[in-house]
Structure 1
Amino acid sequence: PTPLAGFKEHDYGWFMPWPVPPRPLPDYGATVVTIESVTRPDAIRLVGPHKDGVFGVNRGGDHAQRRTSHLGLTLNLRSEEGKEIARRLVAWADIVFDNFGANVMDRMGFGDADLRKIKPDIIVLTCSGQGETGPHRAVKGGGSHFVALAGLHHLSGPPDAPPQDVSVLTDFISPRFNTTLLLAAVDHHRRTGRGGYYDVSQFEAAVTMTTPIMLDYFTNGRVPWRLGNRHVAAAPHGAYACSGERWCTIAVFSDDEWQAFVRVIGSPPWTHDPRFATLAGRKQHEDELDRHVATWTRGRRPDEITRLLQDAGVPAGEVARGEELMDWDPQLAHRGFWQTLEHPDIGPYRALAHAFRLSDAPLEMRPAHMIGQHTAEVLRDILGLDDDEVADLSACGALE
């Protein structure tokens, strides 16, 4: 049995903040109808790489990975006929989601109050840049902007370099809040029969990632600064060059781990220097310490280093490359992380499964949809329209 069978979502999500973690919903049985337009497709379709290097709205790798198991419907929401179809989908659905800018759904006539007139117990989840209220609600931006606003750029990079871009991290943080809120809202609806309005701020979601350093500031008055690959409570701690232009990571936190590390590398004379006997000393002389560690790693393979240190109880790992994760990693292979799906345009491809397994619910993923692939199916099977009604909608441009 699929745990989310019978759950219905009317989805206006686009790009990354929605499809990343909530993918388990349709993959585990929920019916999710995603709204796009031929003139305004989901922007994630435009992101490469594209199959064989040939651009096409149905050939993007990101869309193929992130939009598994959705039903794709094209609607022209500038037309009254298209809006009427959208209203009928609201009446059918349990939840309506969007991650447009603040108040965009209101301007389209699909704000919370409008939706509740159609279905009083609807669950409405919106995930805009800085929330639907407040002085900055209308500020334009994307994931990289909100990450910068949250202070994460300021904390990223070497100490003597400018702040580093950590990409669109909010696109991978805020969906975790979306998923939790959504499942909680569904549970609340099942128990009480009431819907709700849930307003997620991508900016605020990113700020939660700074909680430890905020606590340090509140408690100790310390203002954080960039550390590169280092850690305030570990040394050595970083990524070190290995043979064959490869890298490994090593993290030594405790004195026991330090002693184990010393034994693995053969207890060379420099390890007996009193300056390295304690964590405080190693932190004080970390530049020199890193040079010694790098000399040892440079002539060895990362898999050899990982095995030696892990066997001794020292945290270490290879810096993997993408092709290794797909073609070699035995742990991912064992857990069936890569699911081979057949896409109408791309052909067979491997999609990411999920970071969890359910004992009584097998994973049943379907390939990402072509743009508008399920338009006729949704109109006929979900909304009950006949062939003539579908043809009329197509003729008047409501399905563009």
Structure 2
Amino acid sequence: MAGSLDFGALKGLKVLELGQLIAGPFCGQLLADHGAEVIKIEAPGIGDPMRKWGQAAPLWWPVVSRNKKCITLNLREPKGQDILKELVKEADFILENFRPGTMERWGLDYETLSAINPRLIMIRVSGYGQSGPYSSKAGYGSIGEAMGGMRNLAGDPSTPPSRIGLSIGDSLAATYATIGALMALYNREKTGKGQVVDSAIYEAVLAMTESVAAEYSHSGYNRERTGSILPKVAPSNAYPTTDGDILIAANQDTVWKRLAVAMGKPELAEDPRYATHKARGERQQELDKMIADWSKDKSAQDVQTMMDEHGIPAGKIFKAEDMFKDPHYKAREALIEVDHPNFGKLAMQNTFPKLSDTPGQVNWPGPVELGQHNQDIYGAVLGYSETDLQALADEGII
């Protein structure tokens, strides 16, 4: 493939990214963030719908496709499928999030591709996984969040289940896909063989649901929506101040003692009604009212200062504008600016996690033009000439 990127722990690895939207491409973003050469393949004349998504402007695309090179290829045509097979020869990963069965219909199943390149790792992200009675159903992140148990727990019990305002199901599936890909890579180092990574949205969500299944299995308890609290975990909530709510989390015994001192009521630390985690859980509403009565006449900053002085986890509820003003964000470069040909200096989140010796970085935002790297990839990898590329374009292959 075209020259590798010269940074990151994954430098030298080559990824072919198929699919669209978030569940697959976010996995590709994570790999590209840490130096893998990710070649995103889009349908000619169409491209990924993410190119047009965003609230104020189409700004999702520059984030999810950053550091990637983009080419066009019609995978529905035999000639396009043959070209992909040529590209597979040099790839470490092929990433897709089509509905299960699509790759098989195109003759691009893992058995076929691994025969070409036995070291190939296929990363497959879908709503329900590659097997089971639901596997062929259409699956979006929101549906996976519901099936995985998250949606039922989100929001206030007086309202229908809420969405948290992000495509968390897609992103979780992509994150688990990335973890699986790196596990498969480690195994390949020992065996020389690739394998399939099967990441389902509903299972990635399920993995985040803590003891929900165990609680039901053991005692028949169905956890339900509880708004801004976790039942029996107290005190831990949002509390009012004169200029907005502040979160305080003092549910651990030692931290509760420090909060009692900060509120000027040190005797509460040893009061048997509040001294233990279990006791505080039984008096959750009572404690929340007590703390709210204490905090409501103080500024958020005054409360934050007292919490910091006493070693109590606390903080404001951030919006984007708060992130740009925050000194910790600045010190750790959690937000960065990237030059974009259309949007100028475009701010976005940095690469995470931070690695001490081989950090990730953002070299460029998502390519603007559809097929922007066709010449780069097809010329360098397959030796296609300008004439070859024009003929393929005329046929609708690229």
Q: Normalization by structure 2: what TM-score? A: 0.88
Larger deviation: 250-259 or 177-186? 250-259
Aligned to 1:395: 394
Matched residue, 2:374: 375
Matches within 5 A, 1:1-400: 2-20=8-26, 22-51=28-57, 60-166=58-164, 168-244=167-243, 246-267=244-265, 279-280=277-278, 282-325=280-323, 327-366=324-363, 367-370=365-368, 371-399=370-398
Runs (4+) of structure 1 moved beyond 6 Å?
A: 268-274
My pick for the range that moved more, 260-269 or 218-227, is 260-269
Q: Quick one: which amino acid aligns to residue 71 of structure 2?
A: L
**More moved, 6-15 vs 142-151:** 6-15
Q: 1:291 Cα deviation (Å)?
A: 3.0
Alignment check: 8 A CA contact 2:232 2:282 kept: no
Counterpart residue type for residue 334 of structure 2: F
Does the 8 Å CA contact 1:129/1:201 hold for their aligned counterparts? yes
Displacement, 1:142?
A: 0.4
Q: Secondary structure at the match of 1:126?
A: strand
Deviation, structure 1 residue 155: 1.9
Q: Which residue of 2 aligns with 1:56?
A: none
Would the alpha carbon gap of residues 112 and 277 (structure 1) be closer, same or farther in structure 2, given more than 3 Å must change?
closer
Q: How many residues align?
A: 389
| Alignment-mate amino acid for residue 216 of structure 1 | E
Contact 2:352 2:360 in 1 (8 A): no
In structure 2, the gaps of 5 or more residues are: 1-6
- Give yes or no for contact 2:69–2:373 (8 Å, CA) kept in 1: yes
Report the secondary structure of 1:154's partner residue: helix
Mapped to 2, the partners of 1:193 and 1:269 lie a distance apart of 64
Q: How far apart are 1:253 and its partner, in Å?
A: 1.4
Give 1:275 shift.
5.4
Deviation at 1:125, TM superposition (A): 1.5
Q: Distance in 2 between matches of 1:186 and 1:271?
A: 51
User: Contact conserved, 1:170 with 1:206, CA < 8 A, in 2?
Assistant: yes
Contact in 1 for aligned 2:33/2:351 (Cα 8 Å):
no
SS of residue matched to 2:122? strand
Q: Is the deviation greater in 273-282 or in 370-379? A: 273-282
Q: Kindly state the Cα deviation for residue 319 of structure 1 after the two structures are TM-superposed.
A: 0.9
Q: 1:213 to 1:44 in 2, by over 3 A?
A: same
Report the Cα offset of residue 21 of structure 1: 5.2
2-side partners of 1:34 and 1:111: how far apart? 18
What secondary structure does 2:229 align onto? coil
CA gap of 1:290–1:8, structure 2 versus 1, over 3 A, is: same
Equivalent-residue separation in structure 1 for 2:8 and 2:257 (angstroms): 50
- Give how far 1:135 is off: 0.8
String of CA shifts for 1:308-351, please: whole Å, max 9, x gaps: 113212221111121121x2222221122222211222222122
Asked if the contact 2:144/2:202 (under 8 Å) is kept, the reply is yes
Q: Which moved more, 1:356-365 or 1:93-102?
A: 356-365
Q: 1:360 to 1:288 in 2, by over 3 A?
A: closer
State the Cα deviation string for residues 3-50 of structure 1 (Å, max 9, x = none): 322211111042112333553422332211101124432232232134
SS in 1 for 2:223: coil
Percent identity between the two aligned chains:
28
Out of 294-303 and 6-15, give the one that drifted further. Answer: 294-303
**Runs of 5+ in structure 1 lacking a partner?**
52-59
Pick closer, same or farther for the CA change 1:339–1:279 going to 2, 3 Å.
closer
Q: CA deviation at 1:282?
A: 4.3
Letter in 1 for 2:325: W
- Verify the 8 A CA contact 1:102 1:129 in the aligned structure 2: no
Stretch moving more, 388-397 or 294-303? 294-303
Distance in 2 (alpha carbons) for counterparts of 1:138 and 1:374: 33
Q: Does 259-268 or 106-115 show the bigger shift? A: 259-268
- Conservation of the 8 A alpha-carbon contact between 1:63 and 1:368: yes
Which residue of structure 1 aligns with residue 3 of structure 2? none
- Quote the Cα distance in structure 1 between the aligned partners of 2:54 and 2:205: 25
Q: Distance in 1 between matches of 2:136 and 2:40?
A: 25
